[in-house]
Amino acid sequence: MNSNSRTSRRRRKRRSYALLILAGGLLLFGIAASTLYLYLQPTILRIAVGPPNSDDQKLVQTLAQIFARERSSIRITPITTAGSVESIALLAAGKTDLAVARGDLGLPANAESVIILRKNVVVLWAPAGLPAKGTKRQPVPKVKSITELAGRRIGVVGRTEANVKLLRVILSESGVNVDNIAVTQFATNQIAEMARDTTLDAYMTVGPLESKITRDAISATAASRGEPKFLPIEVSEAIAKKHQLYESEEIPASIFSSSPARPDEKVDTVSVNHLIIAPRTLSDTKVGAFARQVFNVRQQLARELPNAPKIEKPDTDKDAALPAHEGAAAYFDGNERTFLEKYTDYIWGIILVLSGLGSVGAWLRHYWKGDEREQYETHRDNLLELISRVREADSLDHLTAMQSQADEMLREALYCYEDGTIEEGDLSAMGLALRQFHDAAADRRTALGSGAPDMLRMRAM
């Protein structure tokens, strides 16, 4: 009864071990499956852009639609704002992952460039005046260069303070006392009002060369006050060197109109980048994947959005005024690392940890089974002692009792082997000792007058 009880307990114990191993395997499988599922899920990036219905917002919305349609690994969720200032504020507060903004708008210290959407160029012009009635003779403009703007009034399209700041930089570098300049700002929907204001001596816009706002402003002022005289910024290269956020550019001839030609020749000017920015803390992998996807769909973007700007890569030099995000720079410079290159150290670390855990598990297993090992050694020593005692047995009943003890020792040895407590060599040693016991028992039976059938049965066992 006791033997059956021990056998039942051992079987339950082995069954528990098997269930524990199965549960551990299922747990590891679940973790691996969950990790794979999360890895295959697209990454969603929030991007702040504004104002509503602007070209920037249309561009971002079109990109979001293309990414979703192509089932890209990166998806974007537009956050509509009142303009670049609010977009930058959201980025600084950590409420968005990306933002569309002008490069000279007081960006956060940790902001870095990802993609240049367009270059906003400065266009400065002065009205020449309408010809007198009855004559075709074109009047001579009062202002022919930037240096002649001293003491004048200038109308600036756009309410952002960055436009006024840029104008003051241009005037100051051109040798004009900015304190004697009067600046009036007009919203983009006040162009007609600006064109009717006869107190203004010059006008300024900041935007892409293909901007409808700039074209409309030039056309409106030409209709109200005569053909424009475009004012070149002759110190554009000096400005670009002193103020790294600005670049030297040229306005091509006839870019705004071919008949009449506006301008009639190329004009030097300065530009500022309008770009997508991201915080330095945003994952390099996410930023690199986003930049790659944008550049991969440029042709498709141009087909779906005819007025889409020419997207460019940012300056990846370390000393750039607005450095490129490391993820974007790695993509543009061809230095992106593969999955194995990124995570090789982690993989080897996991392997070493698992190896260490395996060694610890083996030691714990050996420690936990120490009692069973000692029990086996005790049974082995008892069996050896039993061999010497069997030769001194004085009756067949005594031999039968010893045989039962030997059978129990063998059973315990087999259990230890099944549990992994002892190895095959230990079991072989136990078998050799048991064979010696059987031989000694058979000899003793013969000596006690036992019959041949009993002896044969003992040898068969």
Minimum mean pLDDT among 137-141, 176-180, 247-251: which range? 137-141
Q: What is the mean pLDDT of the chain?
A: 84
What is the rounded average pLDDT of the residues 438-461?
A: 62
pLDDT at res. 220: 96
What pLDDT digit, counting tens, does each position of 422-437 carry? Answer: 777 777 877 787 888 8
Q: Is the pLDDT of residue 264 over 50?
A: yes
Q: Are 392 and 434 in contact (CB under 8 A)?
A: no
Q: Are 283 and 327 in contact (CB under 8 A)?
A: yes
What is the rounded average pLDDT of the residues 23-51?
A: 78
Q: Is the pLDDT of residue 455 over 60?
A: no
What pLDDT digit, counting tens, does each position of 342-358 carry? Answer: 656 666 777 777 777 66
Highest mean pLDDT (candidates 33-42, 294-303, 408-417)? 294-303
Q: Is the pLDDT of residue 96 over 90?
A: yes
Q: Is the pLDDT of residue 2 over 80?
A: no
Q: Is the pLDDT of residue 460 over 50?
A: no
What is the rounded average pLDDT of the residues 290-312?
A: 90
What pLDDT digit, counting tens, does each position of 131-159 carry? Answer: 767 666 777 788 999 999 999 999 999 98
pLDDT band at 282 (very low <50, low <70, confident <90, very high): very high
Q: Is the pLDDT of residue 111 over 80?
A: yes
Q: Is the pLDDT of residue 5 over 60?
A: no
Q: Is the pLDDT of residue 453 over 80?
A: no
Q: Is the pLDDT of residue 273 over 90?
A: yes
What is d(CA 286, CA 73) in angstroms, rounded to the nearest whole number? 9
Which has more pLDDT, 2 or 389? Answer: 389
Residue for token digits 């009756």? 395
Residue type, 328: A
pLDDT at res. 459: 43
215 contacts: CB under 8 Å, gap ≥ 6 = 256, 257
pLDDT at res. 452: 40
Q: Is the pLDDT of residue 391 over 50?
A: yes
What is d(CA 176, CA 116) in angstroms, rounded to the nearest whole number? 31
pLDDT at res. 314: 93
pLDDT at res. 358: 66
Which has more pLDDT, 254 or 7? Answer: 254
pLDDT at res. 337: 65
What pLDDT digit, counting tens, does each position of 48-72 carry? Answer: 999 898 889 999 999 999 999 998 9
Q: Are 279 and 286 in contact (CB under 8 A)?
A: no
Q: Are 416 and 373 in contact (CB under 8 A)?
A: yes
